[in-house]
Structures are given as C-alpha cells and as structure tokens.
A and B are shown apart, each in its own frame.
Chain A
Amino acid sequence: MSMEEVEEAREEGSHGSMFEGGVEVRVLVVDDSPVDRRVVEGLLKRSGAMFQVIAVDSGKRAMEVLGLTEGKEAEQPTVDDPKIDIILTDYCMPEMTGYDLLKAVKEQSSQKPIPVIIMSSENEPQRISRCRAIGAEDYLLKPLQTNDVLRLRDYVRPKALSPKTGTKRKIAIEMMAENSGSERRPCLAGLAVA
C-alpha cells in the first residue's frame, strides 16, 4: 500500500468568514506521519479561509510537487506566481529529511525562493542553527499550536495576502490563539542568531 497522500483542501469561508475575496495561501505540508499531517491540516483549515493545503508524506514527493528533480529547477510560470507560497516540513523524515528539502529549495536560483518553515519535536539549538543558517524562515516545535499557524502569514510575500480581510473572524482566530496556551510557545528563531 502506498503511503503517498496528496490533498488539496479549499476553505471558502463556510463559517461566514470575513475573508471573502481574500487570496488563499498555498501551503505545502510535508510530514511522514499521517497523524501529524492531518492535525496540521486541521490547524491550517480551522484558522480561517486563508490556507489551501497540499499534504505529502515525503521530501521526495514534495520535490515532485515543487517541480524539483535532481539537477532541474522548478518549472514555474513566473517567479511571482509560484504554485506553492510556503512550505511547512517536518525535520525527521526517512530518506530525505526536512533539512535536505530545505537545502534543495533554497538552492534554487530563483531570486525569491519559497519560504520554508521547519517543524520538529526536538528543541535542539544546534539543529535550529543549522536550519536557520541555510535559510529556514522559522523553526516550530511540534505539536503545532494555533499561534504557530498564524505566524505563517508573516513569511508569505505581501502580495499573496489580500487586504480584503474582515476583522470579525481575525479577532475570533486570535482569541482562540490566546486561549490555546500561547505562553508555551516562545519564538525559537532568536536562539540561532547568537
């Protein structure tokens, strides 16, 4: 049985969201754990009508989705119109790790490589530094929380986000984030800077 799983989910404001007309952010979620893939997908979808989720179970599959194969660059219509806006990848995966995927993405000759966020259950300063050193935008501790998902928006290019977002849903989302134990989630990026 193949463990591959590619999903596209579109959240279109079914809760009466105020994101009508907003541009969705296309997130490529890469994780070999089916449980973690589903939980992250649920977090992204629940955060509002902003994320279109494509989930794959390996770095190799992610490379295929990105149009990256050995020795080739991504075949994208234009630099300003990528198929994926942001990559959220687990660090520990068999064969091709999240670090390997990060390196492959950042080595593209594109002037604006896709932002890559690493997820890991291990809070290891050396690992964080390694990832940041080759261009990871952030390093998130698993299990992810609502706050982490909201931060993804910060790493997407401004034009990918529509200004036409309502305030009502945004407030509801951020209240949910406040209630989800945000005190356990310090930003780890600072550890790598020292």
Chain B
Amino acid sequence: MSLMALREQLNVLVNSMFLEGLLDQQFRQLQMLQDASSPGFVAEVITLFCEDSERMLTELTKLLDQAVVDYQKVDAYVHQLKGSSSSVGAQNVKLACIQFKQFCEENNKEGCLSALNMVKHQYYSLRSKFDTMLQLEQRIQAYGSEQQN
C-alpha cells in the first residue's frame, strides 16, 4: 500500500472515531503537538493512556468485588481515569467516568458496577481503534525511514 493510501486510511479512521464520539477535539491538540522532533508523540501518549487505564480498570474491578466497597478509593481511580481520558480526548470514556462518579457519590454499588461495565465497554472499543491507528502510524513512519535511507 502506498504512503498516500496509508495516510488516507489513517485519516478515515481518525475521522470516524470523531464521528462516533470516541474522540473529541482534545485529540486534535495532541496531534498538533507531534512534529519532526517528536514524531512518536501521539503513539506514546496513547500507549501510556492504555497502560494506565487498564491498570485502573483492574483496580476498580477488585475494589467493587469487595463485600464492603471503599467508595473513596473507587472515586479516586475514577477521577484519575476521567482526567487522563480527558487529556487524550477519549470522549466516551470520559463521559462514562462522569456517570460513574455520580454513582460513587451515592455509594450505589449496583450503579457503580453497571458504570464500570460501561467504562470498560467504551475503553475497549476505543482501544481497538487505537491499536489500528498505531499500526497505521508505524507503517507510515517506516515509509518515512525507508525514504531517508
């Protein structure tokens, strides 16, 4: 596949993610921060986000699995996940976290469990698209490296 075709495929993917509400304009901010001196910036941030998110989702699952739920700890993790998803432009994840926080404040375990499932659903939908995005980015970067050699 040509470089132009790869870029077009990436653009189509990213645009579809905006249309589906997976991403918001904050993601465009990240893209603007990527340049020749920092060509892997977006990929790096996405990778950090995914690693951190999965860590937090694991912790949240454990906390909500307890007989007595520590809602303060749950809220702290949800707050942090909301923050990082906001920072990368992960709109649907952020919105799901906002709902989750409301259930935390109400000490509503059923609500929290339902919200956690929603956050996971949104996150893994996004993660799947991010994986494709990173693969395309890598192929585009590889093209650039070949042309320089």
A/B interface sample: 24 pairs, CB < 8 A: A11-B37, A14-B36, A14-B37, A15-B35, A15-B37, A33-B80, A33-B83, A34-B48, A35-B45, A35-B48, A35-B84, A35-B87, A36-B84, A39-B33, A39-B45, A42-B33, A42-B38, A46-B38, A121-B79, A121-B86, A143-B26, A145-B29, A146-B32, A181-B25
Nearest-CB distance from B76 to chain A (Å)?
A: 7
Most buried by A among B25, B26, B33: B33
A92 within 8 A of B: yes
Residues of the B chain whose Cβ atoms lie less than 8 Å from the Cβ of A146: 29, 32
Chain A, residues 156-189, CB within 8 Å of chain B (1/0): the string is: 0000000000000000000010001100000000
Name the residue among B79, B83, B88 with the largest chain A CB count within 10 angstroms. Answer: B83
Please tell me if the beta carbons of A15 and B36 are within 8 angstroms of each other in the complex.
yes
Supposing A38-B45, A42-B45, A92-B79 touch, asked if A33 and B87 sit within 8 A by C-beta, the answer is yes
Bound-complex Cα distance A42 to B54 (A): 23
Q: Decide: A39 and B30 in contact? CB cutoff 8 A.
A: yes
Interface residues of B in 82-141 (CB under 8 A from A): 82-84, 86-88
Which residues of chain A have C-beta atoms less than 8 A from B84's C-beta? 33, 35-36
Binding site for B on A (CB under 8 A): 11, 14-15, 32-36, 38-39, 42-43, 45-46, 92, 94, 121, 142-143, 145-146, 176, 180-181
List 16 other contacts, CB 8 Å, given A15-B36, A38-B48, A39-B88: A14-B36, A32-B80, A33-B52, A33-B84, A35-B49, A35-B88, A39-B33, A42-B33, A45-B37, A46-B35, A92-B79, A121-B79, A121-B83, A121-B86, A142-B83, A142-B87
Which chain B residue lies CB-closest to A45?
B38
- The residues of A that contact B35 with a CB separation of less than 8 Å are 15, 46
**Interface residue tally for chain B (C-beta within 8 Å):** 25
Residue of B35, B52, B80, B82 with highest tally of chain A CB at under 10 A = B80
A180 to B87 alpha-carbon distance, docked (Å): 14
Partner of A180, one of B29, B44, B48, B76: B29
A114 CB to nearest B CB, Å: 25
CA distance A146 to B25 in the complex (A): 13
Query: In the complex, A35 Cα to B82 Cα: how many Å?
Result: 12
The 4 closest A-B pairs by CB, nearest first: A35-B84, A42-B33, A143-B87, A46-B33
Nearest CB of A to B111, in Å = 22
Q: From residue 42 to 61 of chain B, which have CB atoms closer than 8 A to chain A?
A: 44-45, 48-49, 52
Residues of A within 8 A of B44 (CB): 38
Quote the shortest CB–CB distance from A7 to chain B (angstroms): 13
B76 (CB) vs chain A CBs: closest residue: A94
Q: Which residues of B contact A176 (CB under 8 A)?
A: 32
> Which of A36, A42, A94 contacts B41, CB < 8 Å?
A42
